[in-house]
């Protein structure tokens, strides 16, 4: 390892990439402590600064909804594809009568049915050469499996997709001879739309969870389901290819995750006087030197400006206490405004 410098140069100095590779922790600490008033990270952001977002929807031909998003150097493409699960082949006989008063469907708990029928099938693929750690030809890594489990759990627990939107209903023609005046609107569930949500990482530079969720959210908002109906003549479910008949998904709320990594500064004289930084939206380099991560999901679409907390995940380390967590929730609430703008602008 050529670390020797010429004698005319008294200070031992390295070019940036070598310093970063040799001793990542002091490298980041040197950056954060070099300007005490405005500590900058190695990537030029302040500790509280998130990366800017770019969203582009509807670019894939064979998807009902799609989005390509960019979050700094992380780029993700997500496609939502709808296929039909008919009630007969679905293995579960669920055709029953539905009441008419399902308009205010905000209250009913339909997550159980979506989950048991497996109507939402999210999957991710990291092995696209997106980063040197995830090479193709291997089974999904533990990281990929954890990531997709977290995404699925957020999809289900935030109840973002309504079961109503996925149902394919059929109203049998009422027989005029029989007078069923009390139960006129008898509707049968003939099938369900199943949404395959496939997320490919084109480039991975940290914060995979937020990026994947942004892509999924943008793709779901873009999703257009054709009008599907039961055809009595052919006894199958057919769809109308007229875009005017198709409907968008009415998503419940807008859960916005914000991920933080805690960088534990080390003081030089081995006392526990090191300063800790909570870095917003860590990139891959920062993730590699941070042990503790926090992910806060807030939803500001209901509950006023304060928003509602949907989820908090924290793993490793012991820096974030209740006080810090409060500030993180505030930071996440501010961040969700940016997401709202980006998503509605697309």
Partner 1 sequence: MAALADRRRINGPSGGTSAPIFARIVKEPGYLQSLRPSRTRGPNELRKIFLQTGIVPSASGSAYLEIPSELPSKTTLIPSSSSLKLSCSIQGPKPLPRSAPFSPSLLLTTTVKFAPFATRTRRGYIRDSVERDLGVHLETALRGVIIAERWPKSGVEVVVTVIEGDEDGWWGDDFSAKRGSGGGSGSGWGLLNVLAGCITVASAAIADAGIDCVDLVSGGVAAIVRNPRSRGDDVVKILDPNPSEHQDVVAACAVGYLAGRDEITELWMKGDVGPDPDQLVDGATHAAVGSLSVLREVILEAVEAKFKGPATEGDSLKRKSPSQDVEMGG
With 0-12 / 13-18 / 19 or more C-beta atoms within 10 angstroms meaning exposed / middle / buried, residue 169 is: middle
What is the DSSP track for 247-267?
EE------EEEEEEEEEE---
Nearer to partner 1, 283 or 292 (CB): 283
Nearer to partner 1, 127 or 251 (CB): 127
Nearer to partner 1, 66 or 333 (CB): 66
**What residues from 62 to 81 belong to the interface with partner 1 (CB under 8 A)?**
62-63, 66, 73, 75, 77, 79, 81
**What residues from 155 to 214 belong to the interface with partner 1 (CB under 8 A)?**
194, 196, 198, 200, 202-205
Smallest distance, partner 1 to C-beta of residue 219, A:
10
Q: Residue 17: in which H helix or E strand, if any?
A: helix 16-22
Which of 170-178, 233-241, 270-278, 305-313 is the region at the interface with partner 1 (rule: CB under 8 A)? 233-241
**Whose CA is closest to 95, among 169, 174, 165, 194?**
169
- Distance between CA atoms of residues 64 and 57, nearest Å: 11
- Distance between CA atoms of residues 157 and 135, nearest Å: 31
Report the Cα 227 to chain-centroid distance in Å.
27
Among residues 54, 105, 226, 265, the one that binds partner 1 under rule CB under 8 A: 226
**What is the pattern of x (binds partner 1, CB under 8 A) and - over residues 102-121?**
---------------xxx-x
Nearer to partner 1, 133 or 327 (CB): 133
Question: Any contact of residue 346 with partner 1 (CB under 8 A)?
Answer: no
- Distance between CA atoms of residues 59 and 228, nearest Å: 23
Nearer to partner 1, 263 or 292 (CB): 263
Task: For residue 159, give every residue at least 6 positions away whose Cβ sits within 8 Å of its Cβ, in sequence order, or none.
Answer: 109, 110, 111, 252
Smallest distance, partner 1 to C-beta of residue 9, A:
11
Nearer to partner 1, 62 or 101 (CB): 62
């Amino acid at each position: 390892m050529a670390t020797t410098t010429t004698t005319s140069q008294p200070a031992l100095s390295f070019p940036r990439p070598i310093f970063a590779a040799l001793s990542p922790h002091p490298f980041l600490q040197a950056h954060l402590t070099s300007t005490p008033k405005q500590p900058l990270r190695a990537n030029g952001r302040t500790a509280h600064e998130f990366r800017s977002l770019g969203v582009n929807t509807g670019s894939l031909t064979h998807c009902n909804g799609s989005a390509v998003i960019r979050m700094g150097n992380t780029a993700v493409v997500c496609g939502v594809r709808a296929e039909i699960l008919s009630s007969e082949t679905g293995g579960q006989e669920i055709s029953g009568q539905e009441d008419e008063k399902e308009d205010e469907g905000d209250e009913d708990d339909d997550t159980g049915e979506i989950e048991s029928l497996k109507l939402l099938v999210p999957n991710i693929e990291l092995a696209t050469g997106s980063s040197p750690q995830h090479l193709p030809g291997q089974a999904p890594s533990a990281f990929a499996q954890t990531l997709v489990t977290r995404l699925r759990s957020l999809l289900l627990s935030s109840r973002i997709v309504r079961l109503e939107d996925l149902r394919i209903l059929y109203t049998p023609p009422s027989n005029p001879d029989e007078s069923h005046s009390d139960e006129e609107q008898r509707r049968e569930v003939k099938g369900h739309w199943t949404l395959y949500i496939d997320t490919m990482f084109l480039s991975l530079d940290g914060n995979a969870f937020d990026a994947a969720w942004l892509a999924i959210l943008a793709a779901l908002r873009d999703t257009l389901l054709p009008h599907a109906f039961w055809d009595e003549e052919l006894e199958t479910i057919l769809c109308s290819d007229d875009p005017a008949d198709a409907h968008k998904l009415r998503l419940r709320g807008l859960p916005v995750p914000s991920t933080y990594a805690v960088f534990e500064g080390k003081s030089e004289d081995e006392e526990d006087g090191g300063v800790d930084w909570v870095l917003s939206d860590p990139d891959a380099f920062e993730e590699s030197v941070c042990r503790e991560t926090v992910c806060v999901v807030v939803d500001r679409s209901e509950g006023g400006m304060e928003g509602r907390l949907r989820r908090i995940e924290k793993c490793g380390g012991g820096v974030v206490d209740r006080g810090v967590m409060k500030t993180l929730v505030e930071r996440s609430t501010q961040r969700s405004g940016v997401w709202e703008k980006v998503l509605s602008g697309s």
